């Protein structure tokens, strides 16, 4: 059964003005095409130059920090530890106190994310990247009160990113999502197997309309492929599992336990923590690869939590957005769970997890219990940020042929992912 959660990352000219040797894009509040280091720096400078009242939800966050000594202590300690972490890897950081952090965050949630070569669309991840691996950051981002307000903050940003104002970054400036560099990256990622399609040939859009016809940044983020670009692999063969998301293979785990040390590298998946208490026994000793709808639900989780502070995984100091602890997020992040009973008895009951990883990462489910689906139907989508997913098969399902883990190319959505065949014992086929 195929599950389509699209997780993809020449409009009006932006207003600009010159600041020394740099260009300030007034519509998006960013200088030039910012890198990881400059993004926080330039937003921080704009906050100082043009202070704004805090969004009401960040005002609530500020009151929590000021009235709760434990939260204040963890946050200030986190920022201090982040300073030491950044200095260790020779990077500069501009955020020294909680009030500055809130004001930079205030700027982010009232603007659409600009295009950047290193971290497109994830300014919150850039802002918190050095704080997340710290010991105090681990405690801070695990706190229920903090997570409640982070969720409200990201929901406020989600509202803005669904508004027409958020389309201002859908332009051809160097920080726009239709710049030459951005279009090359977007089409290079989407053109799998050497195809040479242009952006407008890949996606439903109108290059002659303002913002390519997209009504908001989220409308652009959840854009749809044109018919025929992502055909369903072997649509009439139920033994072929197709890829639920446009994604790179991360891990394959077999004989998965009900509970395991998911925060330790090498012991990746813990069914009870991934699924809640639902149907766990049905998947014991089964297979995880990071019909009819039996059940679907959303599990709230943590935001910006990482196991790196536990010193069981080395800090991720490399460039780019790759998150090395996705198994941890399968148990800890907000995730949508969909349980499917396949008509193919060799598959039976299987589970799909849509996992929000970075930024808002809302997991929207558009199907209901009892719905009957055919291979290739869309079940929902990710909104606003980075994402991952897992497929979980029961013990005894002989699922093989997964792509090699660690490959750099995306496996296309609806493309062949694996094959299910009858189990064999002592030379006899089990039927």
Residue 89 has pLDDT above 50, yes or no: no
- DSSP assignment string, 181-241: HHHHHHHHHH-TTS----HHHHBS--TTSGGGG-SSHHHHHT--BPTTSSPPSSTT-TTEE
* Residue 108: exposure state from Cβ atoms within 10 A (0-12, 13-18, ≥19): buried
Under 8 Å between Cβ of 348 and 239: no
Q: Quote the pLDDT of residue 406.
A: 77
Sequence-distant (≥ 6) Cβ neighbours of residue 89 within 8 angstroms: 315, 317
Would you state the structure tokens that stand for residue 164, as one six-digit string? Answer: 């027409």
* Residue 42: exposure state from Cβ atoms within 10 A (0-12, 13-18, ≥19): buried
Residue 325 has pLDDT above 90, yes or no: no
Under 8 Å between Cβ of 151 and 157: no
C-alpha closest to that of 96 among 31, 87, 30, 144: 87
Would you state the structure tokens that stand for residue 361, as one six-digit string? Answer: 């990462």
Would you state the structure tokens that stand for residue 422, as one six-digit string? Answer: 């009858």
Q: Quote the pLDDT of residue 305.
A: 53
- pLDDT cut 90: percent of the chain above it: 33
| Alpha carbon 239 to chain centroid, angstroms | 29
Q: What is the pLDDT of residues 366-399, one digit of tens each?
A: 888 888 888 888 888 777 666 778 889 999 999 9
C-alpha closest to that of 399 among 245, 256, 230, 274: 256
User: Residue 364 phi/psi, 5° resolution?
Assistant: -95, 125
More confident: 264 or 211: 211
Give, for 292, the enclosing helix (H) or strand (E): strand 292-299
Residue 13 has pLDDT above 50, yes or no: no
Q: Quote the pLDDT of residue 153.
A: 92
Q: Quote the pLDDT of residue 307.
A: 54
- DSSP assignment string, 185-200: HHHHHH-TTS----HH
Under 8 Å between Cβ of 14 and 31: no
Q: What is the pLDDT of residues 296-310, one digit of tens each?
A: 445 555 555 555 555
Judged by average pLDDT, the poorest of 53-67, 68-82, 409-423 is: 409-423
Q: What is the pLDDT of residues 156-179, one digit of tens each?
A: 999 999 999 999 999 999 889 999
Under 8 Å between Cβ of 394 and 332: no
Q: Quote the pLDDT of residue 313.
A: 44
Select the highest-mean-pLDDT range: 116-125, 133-142, 293-302. 133-142
Would you state the structure tokens that stand for residue 417, as one six-digit string? Answer: 């992912």
Q: Quote the pLDDT of residue 291.
A: 40
pLDDT band at 316 (very low <50, low <70, confident <90, very high): very low
DSSP-based three-state secondary structure for 30: strand
Give, for 336, the enclosing helix (H) or strand (E): strand 335-341
- Cα Rg of the chain (Å, integer): 22
Q: What is the pLDDT of residues 200-253, one digit of tens each?
A: 999 999 999 999 999 999 999 889 999 999 999 999 999 999 988 888 888 888
Judged by average pLDDT, the poorest of 57-66, 280-289, 341-350, 381-390 is: 381-390
Across the chain, mean pLDDT equals 77
Four-residue CA torsion sign, 22, 28, 30, 36: negative
Would you state the structure tokens that stand for residue 160, as one six-digit string? Answer: 């803005």
* Residue 20: exposure state from Cβ atoms within 10 A (0-12, 13-18, ≥19): exposed
- Within a 10 A sphere around the Cβ of 362, how many other Cβ atoms? 21
Q: What angle is formed at CA 200 by the lines to CA 120 and CA 110, rounded to 5 degrees?
A: 35
Stated pTM of the model = 0.77
Residue 98 has pLDDT above 60, yes or no: yes
Would you state the structure tokens that stand for residue 227, as one six-digit string? Answer: 């018919």
Q: Quote the pLDDT of residue 410.
A: 82
Sequence-distant (≥ 6) Cβ neighbours of residue 30 within 8 angstroms: 24, 39, 42, 43, 114, 175
Residue 14 has pLDDT above 50, yes or no: no
């Amino acid at each position: 059964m195929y599950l389509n959660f699209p997780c993809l990352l020449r409009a009006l000219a932006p207003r600009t003005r010159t600041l020394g040797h740099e260009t300030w894009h007034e519509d998006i509040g960013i200088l030039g095409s910012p890198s990881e280091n400059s993004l926080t720096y330039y937003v921080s400078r704009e906050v100082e130059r043009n202070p704004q009242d805090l969004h009401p939800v960040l005002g609530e966050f500020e009151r929590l920090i000021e009235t709760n000594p434990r939260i204040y202590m963890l946050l200030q300690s986190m920022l201090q530890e982040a300073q030491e972490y950044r200095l260790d890897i020779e990077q500069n950081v501009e955020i020294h106190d909680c009030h500055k952090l809130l004001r930079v965050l205030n700027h982010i949630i009232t603007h659409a994310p600009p295009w950047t070569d290193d971290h497109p669309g994830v300014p919150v991840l850039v802002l918190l990247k050095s704080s997340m691996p710290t010991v105090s950051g681990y405690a801070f981002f695990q706190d229920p009160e903090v997570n409640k307000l982070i969720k409200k903050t990201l929901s406020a940003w989600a509202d803005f990113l669904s508004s027409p104002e958020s389309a201002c970054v859908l332009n051809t400036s160097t920080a726009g999502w239709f710049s030459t560099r951005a279009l090359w990256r977007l089409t290079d990622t989407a053109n799998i197997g050497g195809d040479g399609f242009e952006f407008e040939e890949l996606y439903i859009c109108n290059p002659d309309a303002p913002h390519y016809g997209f009504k908001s940044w989220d409308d652009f983020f959840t854009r749809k492929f044109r018919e025929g670009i992502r055909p369903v692999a072997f649509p009439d063969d139920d033994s072929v599992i197709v890829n639920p998301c446009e994604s790179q293979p991360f891990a394959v785990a077999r004989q998965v336990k009900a509970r395991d040390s998911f925060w330790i590298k090498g012991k990746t998946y813990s069914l009870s923590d991934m699924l809640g208490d639902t149907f766990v026994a049905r998947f014991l000793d089964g297979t995880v690869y990071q019909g009819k709808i039996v059940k679907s639900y959303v599990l709230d989780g943590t935001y910006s939590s990482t196991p790196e502070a536990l010193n069981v995984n080395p800090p991720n100091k490399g460039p780019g957005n790759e998150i090395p602890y996705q198994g941890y997020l399968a148990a800890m992040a907000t995730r949508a769970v969909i349980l499917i009973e396949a008509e193919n008895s060799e598959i039976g009951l299987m589970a799909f997890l849509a996992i929000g990883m970075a930024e808002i990462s809302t997991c929207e489910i558009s199907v209901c219990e009892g719905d009957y689906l055919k291979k290739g139907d869309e079940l929902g989508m990710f909104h606003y940020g980075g994402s991952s997913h897992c497929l979980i098969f029961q013990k005894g399902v002989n699922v093989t042929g997964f792509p090699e883990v660690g490959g750099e190319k995306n496996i296309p959505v609806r493309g062949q992912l694996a094959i299910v065949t009858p189990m064999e014992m002592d030379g006899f086929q089990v039927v």
